[in-house]
Amino acid sequence: MVSTDTKKSAGKTALYKRLRNVLRKFSIARKYFVYNYRVSIARKFAAFAAQKLLEHPFDVVVAPASLTEVAFLDTDIPIVLVEDATFALLHNYYPQYSNLTQSSVRTMNAISERAIKKANLLIYTTEWAARSAVEDYHADQQKVHVVPMGANFEHIPPKEIIQERKKFDRCRLLFVGVDWQRKGGPIAFETLLSLEEMGIETELIICGCTPPNSFLHKSMRVIPFLDKNDESQRNELAHLYLTSDFLLLPTRSECFGLVFCEANAFGLPVITTQTGGVPEVVRNGENGFVLPFNAKGAEYAQVIARIYREDEQYAELVKSSRAAYDTRLNWDNWGKTVNTLITGMLHRESDYEISDISSPIH
């Protein structure tokens, strides 16, 4: 059975998609504006949220990726914003936030600044994002904290099993992403060709998208989509992590990358790009390697070949990759840290109210 709220939500999503398509058709000089970052929509979101808050008593509002919903929200309940980037960072970095009208840029910046100022606590996944909140939107540094997220798998293999994994006779590269171009698919393909030229038998597994027809190779396998909500498909993805040698993702733009946490949960070293918040998630020599943004497939192949050819080095990288997950890239750590931050925030808010009420009248 589908609830009324679910039907309404689906209806709204369809409406916004149609609205977006219409608005884009009428764009001027091929410039666009982001349809869901509009003051009118932000006010409607806020009104809807305010009504929900009246239905039950709440101590805190936790708002993941909800700048628009929070910007005009009128409530005395403390608000915790959870984000992986700011608009200032996304603008002209992600394709969907590029080539925007000046009006759209002004609106998105205004909504972002309003929401950031309204929040009692701001939690970002990286220093890269947190620094932008302070520098670009004048966030109170005392409210800003960095807490990495984790792997979206309910069941993670025991560390003992992961530490026993060995590299395969054929170097297996796993590419996971829904956007072939943005995730650096062409560079991953170049890497496959370069490794074979170096005499290393290689297999490239593409999961989550279908490359253009120009990217075909006998050693490339494509799995267009796996749904984690389906147990068998979720298990298939887990099997891919377990039976690959490297996660190869030469991403062109990335705020954090949950896929890195997932790979490390399975002891899979990551080979990726120095861009966005990635260098804070993947640390050279600890849980993988981060290459310069302008690196080509041949350079990725050299890094992979060097590690793959050294059994001991590869085994140590597997162990330290899993250790990165165990110590900092997991949801338990995120939950405990955020719980501590929220508890501290609530205590401070309570102390402030008592102090304010009991302060002498002048």
The CATH number that applies at residue 48 is: 3.40.50.2000
**Which band of pLDDT confidence, cut at 50, 70 and 90, is reported for residue 30?**
low
Residue 112 lies in a domain: yes
Q: What six digits make up the tokens of 31?
A: 């410039």
CA 54 – CA 76 distance, rounded (Å): 11
Q: What is the pLDDT of residues 55-69, one digit of tens each?
A: 999 999 999 999 999
Amino acid at 115: A
pLDDT at residue 353, rounded to an integer: 47
Instruction: Tell me the three state secondary structure of residue 246.
Output: strand
- Main-chain dihedrals φ then ψ at residue 31, nearest 5 degrees: -105, 150
CA 145 – CA 216 distance, rounded (Å): 44
Q: Indicate whether 137 and 277 sit together in one domain.
A: no
Residue length of the chain: 362
Q: Indicate whether 146 and 167 sit together in one domain.
A: no
Q: Indicate whether 275 and 251 sit together in one domain.
A: yes
pLDDT at residue 14, rounded to an integer: 54
With a CB cutoff of 8 Å and minimum separation 6, the contacts of 49 are 61, 69, 70, 73
Q: What six digits make up the tokens of 221?
A: 């396998």
Q: What is the pLDDT of residues 9-22, one digit of tens each?
A: 455 455 555 555 54
CA distance to 36, 85, 145, 221, 337, per residue, from 141 (Å): 28, 16, 8, 47, 17
Q: Indicate whether 173 and 319 sit together in one domain.
A: yes
Mean pLDDT, rounded, for 228-233 = 96
Mean pLDDT, rounded, for 304-320 = 97
Mean pLDDT, rounded, for 270-295 = 98
Residue 12 lies in a domain: no
Q: How many CB atoms lie within 10 A of CB 10?
A: 11
pTM as predicted: 0.88
8 Å CB contact between 73 and 95:
no
Q: Indicate whether 342 and 323 sit together in one domain.
A: no
Residue 132 lies in a domain: yes
With a CB cutoff of 8 Å and minimum separation 6, the contacts of 219 are 192, 196, 201, 202, 203, 204
Percentage helix, strand, coil for the chain under 3-state DSSP, each rounded to 5: 50, 15, 35
Task: List strand residue ranges (DSSP E) for 267-356, in order.
Answer: 270-273, 288-291
Task: List strand residue ranges (DSSP E) for 22-162, in order.
Answer: 61-64, 79-83, 121-124, 144-146
Structure-token match 């949220």, residue found: 49
Mean pLDDT, rounded, for 241-251 = 98
Q: Indicate whether 130 and 186 sit together in one domain.
A: no
DSSP classification of residue 32: B
Residue 358 lies in a domain: no
pLDDT averaged over every residue in the chain: 90
CA 146 – CA 129 distance, rounded (Å): 9
Question: Domain count of the chain?
Answer: 2
Task: Using a pLDDT cut of 90, give the percent of the chain over it.
Answer: 84
CA angle, 162 then 307 then 312, to 5°: 60
Q: Indicate whether 249 and 129 sit together in one domain.
A: no
CA 336 – CA 201 distance, rounded (Å): 44
pLDDT at residue 351, rounded to an integer: 58
Q: Indicate whether 52 and 165 sit together in one domain.
A: no
User: Is the pLDDT assigned to residue 270 strictly greater than 60?
Assistant: yes
Mean pLDDT, rounded, for 216-242 = 97
pLDDT at residue 17, rounded to an integer: 55
Residue 1 lies in a domain: no
Q: What is the pLDDT of residues 142-184, one digit of tens each?
A: 999 999 999 999 999 999 999 888 899 999 999 999 999 999 9
The CA R_g of the chain, rounded to the nearest whole Å, is 23
**Which band of pLDDT confidence, cut at 50, 70 and 90, is reported for residue 4?**
very low
User: Is the pLDDT assigned to residue 262 strictly greater than 50?
Assistant: yes
Q: Indicate whether 173 and 242 sit together in one domain.
A: yes
Task: Using a pLDDT cut of 70, give the percent of the chain over it.
Answer: 88
Amino acid at 189: F
* Residues of the domain holding 269: 159-327
Residue 14 lies in a domain: no
User: Is the pLDDT assigned to residue 5 strictly greater than 50?
Assistant: no
With a CB cutoff of 8 Å and minimum separation 6, the contacts of 4 are none
pLDDT at residue 349, rounded to an integer: 72
Q: Indicate whether 176 and 139 sit together in one domain.
A: no
Instruction: Tell me the three state secondary structure of residue 25.
Output: helix
Q: What six digits make up the tokens of 72?
A: 């005009």
Q: What six digits make up the tokens of 40?
A: 């009118």
Q: Indicate whether 106 and 142 sit together in one domain.
A: yes
User: Is the pLDDT assigned to residue 3 strictly greater than 70?
Assistant: no
Q: Indicate whether 164 and 226 sit together in one domain.
A: yes
Residue 361 lies in a domain: no
Q: What is the pLDDT of residues 106-146, one digit of tens each?
A: 999 999 999 999 999 999 999 999 999 999 999 999 999 99
User: Is the pLDDT assigned to residue 209 strictly greater than 50?
Assistant: yes
Mean pLDDT, rounded, for 94-100 = 94
Residue 19 lies in a domain: no
Give exposure, 65-88, as e/b (b: 16+ Cβ within 10 Å). Answer: ebbbbbbbbeeeebbbbbbbbbbb
